[in-house]
Homo-oligomer: A and B are copies of this chain.
Amino acid sequence: MRIAPLFLNSSRRLLFLSRMASNKVLTTENINPQVVTMQYAVRGPIVIRAVEIEKELAKGANKPFKSVIKANIGDAHAMGQKPITFIRQVLACVSNPSLMETGKFPSDVIEHSKTLLGGCGGHSAGAYSQSTGIDVIRKHVSEYISKRDGFPCDMENVILSGGASESIRNVLKMFIRHDGSKKIGVMIPIPQYPLYSASTEEFGLGQVGYYLHEEKNWSLEENELERAYKDSLKKFDTKVLCVINPGNPTGQVLSRQNIETIIKFAHKHHLFLMADEVYQDNIYAEGSKFHSFKKVINEMGAPYNKMELASFHSVSKGYMGECGMRGGYVEFFNLDPQVFVLFKKMISAKLCSTILGQVVMDCVVNPPKPGEPSYDLWLKEKTAVLDSLKQRATLVKEAYGSIEGIRCNEVQGAMYAFPQIQIPQKAIEKARSLNQEPDFFYAMQLLESTGVCIVPGSGFGQKEGTYHFRTTILPQPELMKDMLNRFKSFHTKFLQEYK
């Protein structure tokens, strides 16, 4: 900061001062350009405004609604879902081991906690773990996967992380290159979970969108994969295929046959598979079933069972919904051993993921067994959550489906619906005049007039000329009804206003 020369005339001096005022080392002009261009709609402007409105309401602002309903993010506990007792008992005992002596905890909780503490440095959750995670938890994860798939899983291939997001970002990082050659292309679904678009953008990777087929309940079609791949080669060296199953934001569950098609496609073009399977416990529709990519690849046998695959799981979804704990893992399959060494070196600079997040992951992959004291309550709580989610999945589909100008696919799994809305031409023009995407305009109007916070489809990607929004199915039943009522009344007014 230098002193503004006094001899300058006032307007020149003002200019000088204003330039000085922004005389920062780091400015929007010289900041990492990928930070400018990346977007993460799930926490974008609509959500920022929702938080502001909440604060305004808390200060007594007069609004046509009394609360904000956040259906923007898959955050079950924030929407009133209660934690699973077993998980929280283990967390308490691991955090504060003297509790194990009080006689207030079931014996399996204590045993579980002791095993976990035995895996911690100095028997404390306050010690770092290896960057790969606590060994006994990696072992439990590998046993879970082996049992789930009927194929062996080596615990050495399991790396624990702070949610699945961290693992997904770590895997994508390996494909970065800035040597002036073609960017590596990463195939991601459209619509997609914006972690993928945000991360590929941040890392300077090439985004290759393949459209899901909305009319066929958001399935992946070979023709479309081929088209996207072929088009991508003009710009990128495409090497990665990301699949989200069950789908986010689209709520579909891929059939086994669909997965086979995808695997064959990936094999044909020599692609590295990334399978985001964090909703593997969230299957609702009659006839739908979760098939892991690991399982299908192995069942298909050679040459497919030699393909490179990274698959991801998390404690944030499922029946436990422990988002705030930040637990997750990646399982690698057929990763080049030397690449794996480099991967482990790369993550070592981040030390380790949170021990208590790892502990929650353990409770998820290694829950109480029949006959153990915590089993009955655990099963009851788990079943109640999943049953209720199933009901809400149906309720949401039916409610939105019954509204004029809205079409909603079946929510087969995951935690979201992604309904299509027909936005009247006048509203589209109004949005354009405000330099907004029409569905962004719609979502912002909905928020301002009803307090309902959803995410516009443009944040996930959608076919040109179509408009959608993502809503979670997480509000508890009463709140869900409230939300649907608010939505319906807004939508009717909106159609009238812009018809």
Report which A residues bind B (CB closer than 8 A). Answer: 1-2, 22, 24-28, 30-36, 38-40, 42-44, 51, 73, 75-83, 88-89, 91-92, 95-96, 99, 102, 104, 120-122, 124-131, 162-163, 165-166, 169, 173-179, 194-195, 198-199, 202, 204, 239-240, 267, 270-272, 302-303, 306-308, 320-326, 334-336, 338-339, 342-343, 345-346, 348-357
Given contacts A75-B127, A306-B1, A342-B36, contact A335 B26 (CB under 8 A): yes
Interface hub of A22, A122, A126, A199 (most chain B Cβ within 10 A): A126
5 shortest interchain CB distances as A-B pairs: A78-B121, A1-B303, A324-B355, A92-B96, A77-B124
- Whether A127 lies near B78 (C-beta < 8 A) is yes
In the assembled complex, the Cα of A32 lies from the Cα of B240 at a distance in Å of: 14
Q: Which residues of B contact A51 (CB under 8 A)?
A: 130
- Whether A96 lies near B104 (C-beta < 8 A) is no
- Whether A351 lies near B336 (C-beta < 8 A) is no
Q: Please list 11 pairs of residues, one from A and one from B, whose beta carbons are closer than 8 Å in the complex, sorted by A's number.
A: A25-B271, A35-B345, A78-B128, A95-B95, A102-B104, A125-B325, A126-B321, A194-B349, A324-B354, A326-B354, A354-B354
Given contacts A165-B351, A354-B325, contact A336 B26 (CB under 8 A): yes
Q: Which residues of B contact A22 (CB under 8 A)?
A: 336
Contact of A88 among B95, B270, B307, B345 (CB under 8 A): B95
Q: Which residues of B contact A122 (CB under 8 A)?
A: 77-81
Q: Which residues of B contact A178 (CB under 8 A)?
A: 178, 204
- Whether A355 lies near B2 (C-beta < 8 A) is no
- Whether A162 lies near B326 (C-beta < 8 A) is yes
Contact of A308 among B26, B76, B131, B163 (CB under 8 A): B26
Interface hub of A51, A270, A348 (most chain B Cβ within 10 A): A348
Q: Which residues of B contact A349 (CB under 8 A)?
A: 38, 40, 43, 165, 194-195, 198-199, 202
In the assembled complex, the Cα of A174 lies from the Cα of B28 at a distance in Å of: 10
Given contacts A199-B349, A325-B356, contact A342 B28 (CB under 8 A): yes
Q: Which residues of B contact A179 (CB under 8 A)?
A: 33
Interface hub of A176, A267, A271 (most chain B Cβ within 10 A): A176
A250 CB, min distance to chain B CBs, angstroms: 20
- Whether B124 lies near A43 (C-beta < 8 A) is no
Q: Which residues of B contact A194 (CB under 8 A)?
A: 349
A404 CB, min distance to chain B CBs, angstroms: 33
Q: Which residues of B contact A83 (CB under 8 A)?
A: 124, 126
Given contacts A25-B271, A324-B355, contact A1 B302 (CB under 8 A): yes
In the assembled complex, the Cα of A78 lies from the Cα of B96 at a distance in Å of: 16
Q: Which residues of B contact A346 (CB under 8 A)?
A: 35, 38, 202
Taking A1-B307, A31-B175, A324-B355 as known contacts, 14 extra A-B pairs with beta carbons closer than 8 A to each other, sorted by chain A number, are A24-B334, A26-B175, A26-B308, A33-B177, A35-B173, A43-B351, A75-B121, A77-B121, A77-B122, A83-B126, A126-B320, A126-B321, A129-B324, A326-B353
- Whether B77 lies near A32 (C-beta < 8 A) is no
Q: Which residues of B contact A91 (CB under 8 A)?
A: 95-96, 356
Contact of A96 among B89, B177, B334, B339 (CB under 8 A): B89
Closest to A99 in B: B92
Q: Which residues of B contact A169 (CB under 8 A)?
A: 350
- Whether B271 lies near A77 (C-beta < 8 A) is no
- Whether B24 lies near A339 (C-beta < 8 A) is yes
A194 CB, min distance to chain B CBs, angstroms: 7
- Whether A351 lies near B163 (C-beta < 8 A) is yes
A163 CB, min distance to chain B CBs, angstroms: 7
Q: Which residues of B contact A322 (CB under 8 A)?
A: 126
- Whether A323 lies near B336 (C-beta < 8 A) is no
A69 CB, min distance to chain B CBs, angstroms: 13
In the assembled complex, the Cα of A223 lies from the Cα of B39 at a distance in Å of: 43
Q: Which residues of B contact A126 (CB under 8 A)?
A: 76-77, 83, 320-325
Closest to A305 in B: B1
A53 CB, min distance to chain B CBs, angstroms: 14
In the assembled complex, the Cα of A96 lies from the Cα of B83 at a distance in Å of: 9
Contact of A25 among B177, B270, B355 (CB under 8 A): B270
Closest to A175 in B: B32
In the assembled complex, the Cα of A345 lies from the Cα of B254 at a distance in Å of: 32
In the assembled complex, the Cα of A207 lies from the Cα of B95 at a distance in Å of: 39
Q: Which residues of B contact A324 (CB under 8 A)?
A: 120-121, 124-129, 352, 354-356
Closest to A39 in B: B345
Contact of A127 among B120, B173, B323 (CB under 8 A): B323
Q: Which residues of B contact A338 (CB under 8 A)?
A: 27-28
Q: Which residues of B contact A32 (CB under 8 A)?
A: 173-177
